[in-house]
Amino acid sequence: MIKMQLTGATDTGGWHWDGCRWISGRSWIEPFTHPAIEHVMVTTPESGQSCLIVREAASGRQPVTKIRRVMSDPGYRREVEEADAWPLQAVRVEMAAGHGVRITCGERGVAPSTSTPPAAS
């Protein structure tokens, strides 16, 4: 559902959509393009947290593709909790300034993944 390259610090302006992927500094996250998949980037400037939610679209629900929501800390937590309760498959990439990255995906938080080291420069 996603390809990504996370290189550490993000831009002070946060994440932005370039038409293909979410970008911040040298980091990027590219959701798979498909009519049955949607994504939303949720951020909170209060604590410097960001969460990309990529999920299967559910019929009867408003689509969220390519939206960036800037919220308060409580609103951010609510969005992340709602992603956990999504009735279909979802991938969540959580990032916080000065902290690691947490990836949660699939039913019961399990899904296959592949990692490759960055190319030598």
15-65 pLDDT, tens digit each: 889 999 999 888 899 998 888 889 999 998 888 889 999 988 888 887 777
Residue 5 has pLDDT above 60, yes or no: yes
28 within 8 A of 5, measured Cβ to Cβ = yes
Distance CA 48, CA 73 (A): 9
The length of the chain is 121
52-72 pLDDT, tens digit each: 999 888 888 877 777 888 889
Residue 112 has pLDDT above 60, yes or no: no
